[in-house]
Structure 1
């Protein structure tokens, strides 16, 4: 019986002395990297909506996606640089407003706001963004809904009430938005 009591101690000693030295944290370069997150933004090409992937720091955020839409198409996007937009840019000469959910940032009156409850969105555009065409409204709804679905996949239709800068309200669904 005494011989069996020594077996666990011998096993423990054998396992801990396998020849691998104990070390602390070993610095071996920067953090892991990969592809940057993308969000779909809808522009117009040959009269139809098309999706264009844009790099974002906030995937799944409809407001961040709308700011990318308001920046307009970039050089080199689309076939033969044929993208356009029916969504006006920021109504003032200032740069696009910062994200509102970062510490220290307050909501900008020049930024679109999006409220989501289930599969219903309320999108409010800043003053000066009024008189949108039907295509412009579709660009906004498709962009906001596609961004939202990145982190909350669903087959349900998203319905959005868009209020432009002049107070006009339009209710549209994302049904019929081109696939991403």
Structure 2
């Protein structure tokens, strides 16, 4: 007769201990919890008007980023929190998106529709916002040499430089 070998008591205890030592987290599969991680969101300096002067605020971008995005956010005007702080805009409402082009240290912004010439303050808002966005997009760019040309469909044209823009502080 052959004799069957029974597992040792130690082997049984080790197997039982191993099975009982799971971490206790049940298997759940994939759990949907919001948008996928996309990395660092850029923050652009938008320039609004408050107490007769340019005021810069930082706004983070959700979605596509770029100089065009910063300019589009500027034309949307101050948000509710910024309005409560007394910020306004001198930029007119736009029916379409401005066209932004870059060429080295120069930016050109073409405004859509029958846009009247902008006030000096509105031009400064646009020039400073575009120049800051260029710096966010190209961190090694020299903002002191950023020149911006703004044109309207009525044939008017204005130029400016970021040299006189106030610095951006805080978050929007």
TM-score by length of 2: 0.69
Structure 1 residue 36: Cα displacement:
4.1
What do residues 42-75 of structure 1 show as CA deviations (whole Å, max 9, x unaligned)? 100111111122232233x111111101111111
Partner of 1:146: 132
For 2:55, what is the secondary structure of its paired residue?
strand
Taking only aligned residues, the RMSD between alpha carbons, in angstroms, comes to 2.2
Partner of 1:42: 47
Partner of 1:84: 88
Higher percent of residues as helix: 2
Q: Structure 1 residues 146, 58: closer, same or farther in 2, change over 3 A?
A: farther
The match for 1:70 among 64, 72, 75 is 75
Does the 8 A contact of 2:149 with 2:158 survive in 1? yes
For 2:145, what is the secondary structure of its paired residue?
coil
Report whether the alignment pairs 1:136 with 2:122.
Answer: yes
Q: Tell me, in whole angstroms, the C-alpha distance in 1 between the residues paired with 2:146 and 2:120.
A: 17
Structure 1 residue 27: Cα displacement:
5.9
Larger Rg: 2
Q: Tell me, in whole angstroms, the C-alpha distance in 1 between the residues paired with 2:38 and 2:67.
A: 25
Corresponding pairs, count: 135
For 1:40, what is the secondary structure of its paired residue?
strand
Unmatched runs of 5 consecutive residues or more in structure 1: 1-25, 92-109
Q: Tell me, in whole angstroms, the C-alpha distance in 2 between the residues paired with 1:77 and 1:34.
A: 26
Q: Tell me, in whole angstroms, the C-alpha distance in 2 between the residues paired with 1:35 and 1:116.
A: 24
Structure 1 residue 121: Cα displacement:
1.1
Q: How does 1:1-180 map to 2 (within 5 A)?
A: 31-32=36-37, 36-56=41-61, 57-59=63-65, 61-77=66-82, 80-91=84-95, 110-153=96-139, 154-155=141-142, 156-180=144-168
Q: Tell me, in whole angstroms, the C-alpha distance in 2 between the residues paired with 1:163 and 1:113.
A: 10
Does the 8 A contact of 2:67 with 2:137 survive in 1? no
Unmatched runs of 5 consecutive residues or more in structure 2: 1-28
Q: Tell me, in whole angstroms, the C-alpha distance in 1 between the residues paired with 2:40 and 2:106.
A: 31
Q: Tell me, in whole angstroms, the C-alpha distance in 1 between the residues paired with 2:101 and 2:41.
A: 26
